[in-house]
Structure 1
Amino acid sequence: MPNSPQNEDGGGLLARTIEQLRSANSARPRAVDIPKIPGALRFYQVTAYITGIMLLLLVAEMILKYGVGYSVYAFAPGRPVVSLVAYNPAAGALPGLDVSTAILIAHGWLYVLYLVADFRLWSLMRMSFTKFVQIALGGVVPFMSFIVEHFITRQVRRFLAENPVQRKAPSSTVEASH
């Protein structure tokens, strides 16, 4: 039976990946970008949770369709508002909304938004490319977006605690002339 990939220290691939996610040594943002980081972090957190939930819905839909043999339809004539219909690819689509396909499409577009948030945070924090790929994979592996979000948020918050955001002094008010 093949063993899981291990390094010379005996650590498995998952253990190495989590350790890399924990490490903050690759972050080196520019001073001018530091005030933008809290907003980018919040955007990333929201998209990570939304993408993770949609991925779990997608997995449940795939199990329902290919494991149990049912598709979910909404607003199909002569059926309840939401109903399970036996999955038959040869029969074609029923009238109404195919919820299974809607979940698939929604997850795809929300994953694109997740990648935008990932790229924004990654570029502001100036992390390694490996970290970008690890964050991106969080949106395609079930439950991984929640785990990756936890480690990245902790790393970014630690960085922000060590490098406080400089608040701009309020500018003097200028009165309009008549």
Structure 2
Amino acid sequence: MKQLQPALTRYRVMAWATGVLLLLLTLHVVLQVVQFDGPSFSWAGVFEEPGLDDAVPGAGHVIPILHGWLYLIYVVTAVDLWMRTRLPFVRTLLVVIAGTVPAMSFVAERWVTKRVQPMIDAVQPVDASAAP
């Protein structure tokens, strides 16, 4: 259980970063669909629309790339935390998949924190000066 608190903190930061960027990516794609006014709907035509590029130049390229790289780091931190805590494997797999569903990484982060924090509290030494 050594180094459990830093591993949890790394996971929580990556869960939030991945979740925020996935929400931005989702907003970008939704804006592309809304902006599309072609004669017939095709995904190829939709992805030619500017999306968030109108508001933030370059966002159409930066956000997907950043989310992809941060998701990979998210997976590594989730697996690292699993190796340290041995939470149920299937649930850990669901936590990893949560990084691909908008807003679910926030839910997964709360679930993981709720399970791991008691482990951290159990390992930390009790302060003798706090006792009556």
TM-score, normalised by the number of residues in structure 1: 0.58
Query: 1:123, CA displacement in angstroms?
Result: 0.6
- The residue type equivalent to 2:21 in the other structure is M
Aligned to 1:61: 28
More helix by share: 2
Aligned to 2:124: 165
The structural deviation recorded for 1:132 is 1.8
Deviation at 1:147, TM superposition (A): 0.6
| Amino acid across the alignment from 1:66 | V
For residues 108-153 of structure 1, the C-alpha deviation after alignment (integer angstroms, 9 at most, x for no partner) is 0000010011011011001222022111011001110001100110
Answer yes or no: is 1:44 the counterpart of 2:8.
no
CA distance in 2, matches of 1:64, 1:127: 38
Note if 1:98 corresponds to 2:65: no
Q: How many aligned residue pairs are there?
A: 112
**What amino acid does structure 2 have at the position aligned with 1:146?**
F
Distance in 2 (alpha carbons) for counterparts of 1:52 and 1:154: 18
Task: Give the 5 Å matches for 1:4-15.
Answer: none
Percent of aligned pairs with the same amino acid? 31
Q: TM-score under structure 2 normalisation?
A: 0.77
Q: Which residue number corresponds to residue 110 of structure 2?
A: 150
> Which residue does the alignment assign to 1:130?
90
**1:118 and 2:85 are equivalent in the alignment:** no
Give the Cα separation in 1 of the matches to 2:7 and 2:31: 36
The DSSP-based 3-state class of the residue aligned with 1:35 is: coil
CA contact (8 A) 1:35 1:165 kept: no
Aligned-partner Cα distance in 2 for 1:165–1:35? 10
Runs of 4+ displaced beyond 3 Å: none
Specify the code of the residue in structure 2 equivalent to 1:38: Q
The residue matched to 1:132 in structure 2 has which SS? Answer: helix
- C-alpha separation in 1, matches of 2:15 and 2:101: 12
Q: Which ranges of structure 1 fall in alignment gaps of 5 or more residues? A: 1-33, 74-82, 85-96, 167-178
- The whole-number CA distance in structure 1 between the counterparts of 2:35 and 2:115 is 41
**Bigger relative contact order (CA 8 A; separation at least 6):** 2
Question: Residues of 2 paired with 1:119 and 1:54: CA distance?
Answer: 20
